[in-house]
Chain A
Amino acid sequence: SQTIHQWPATLVQPVGSPLSLECTVEGTSNPNLYWYRQAAGRGLQLLFYSVGIGQISSEVPQNLSASRPQDRQFILSSKKLLLSDSGFYLCAWSVGQGGQPQHFGDGTRLSIL
């Protein structure tokens, strides 16, 4: 069966520090991968998605970047965090086309001080 691992579960970082959140998927090949952010009291905002190694699409201009160095690994990064980067970050995967459901990890709670 497929599983998705996301870490760390919680992270407290000072403003201006770098960020690296990692997500890995097991049990499937060539998944579509996604990074979302849920700000307090808000819905899910798609940040990046990837349909293959090295292929990254950015949804919103921001202080963050994403990379996919391996088929089942998706990394969210920042060189300098802002206060507005605080939130709940979720990684997800899907396979196939045609509205296939995305399956989410347990998320990372990021607090910027």
Chain B
Amino acid sequence: DQQVKQNSPSLSVQEGRISILNCDYTNSMFDYFLWYKKYPAEGPTFLISISSIKDKNEDGRFTVFLNKSAKHLSLHIVPSQPGDSAVYFCAAAGNFGNEKLTFGTGTRLTIIP
């Protein structure tokens, strides 16, 4: 049972344009959502997170939007740069008495120069 889903395995965006990565979840008990970026043969790097009490969090070129009623979150990158080409994972956590993150399957973003 995939509780966190990233339905787009890949996405290509022109350099300078906006990249929008989407993520859906099924468990309404999730309280926190995180985005990670991963280059090949490296560990994921934490990008940005959002608490369920907010609907937007911004950090530089990265903005995460959360729609709790739709159980949907998205990561916006603007403007997109060639170094943004990577696999992006969304993850979710809840107050379940442990500190587990549930990850999506990832979206490969390719920025076209």
Contacts and interface: CB of A to CB of B under 8 A. Distances in A.
A51 B106 contact: no
Contacts, number: 61
A101 B49 contact: yes
Contact of A104 (B43, B51, B98, B99): B43
Contacts of A49: 98-100
Interface in B64-113: 89, 93-95, 98-106
Contact of A106 (B34, B42, B100, B104): B42
B9 to A, nearest CB: 8
Interface residues of B, number: 26
A104 B31 contact: no
Contacts of A43: 6, 89, 103-106
A44 B98 contact: no
A98 B98 CA distance: 9
A105 interface: yes
Interface in A43-61: 43-44, 46, 49, 51, 57, 59
A6 B43 CA distance: 10
A78 to B, nearest CB: 21
Contacts of B46: 101-103
Given A46-B102, A97-B99, 16 more contacts: A6-B43, A43-B6, A43-B103, A43-B105, A49-B100, A51-B99, A98-B93, A99-B31, A99-B34, A99-B49, A102-B46, A102-B99, A102-B101, A104-B44, A106-B41, A106-B43
Interface of A: 6, 32, 42-44, 46, 49, 51, 57, 59, 88, 90, 92, 94, 97-107, 109
9 residue pairs, one from A and one from B, having the closest CB atoms = A99-B32, A104-B43, A43-B105, A99-B93, A101-B46, A44-B103, A32-B99, A104-B44, A43-B103
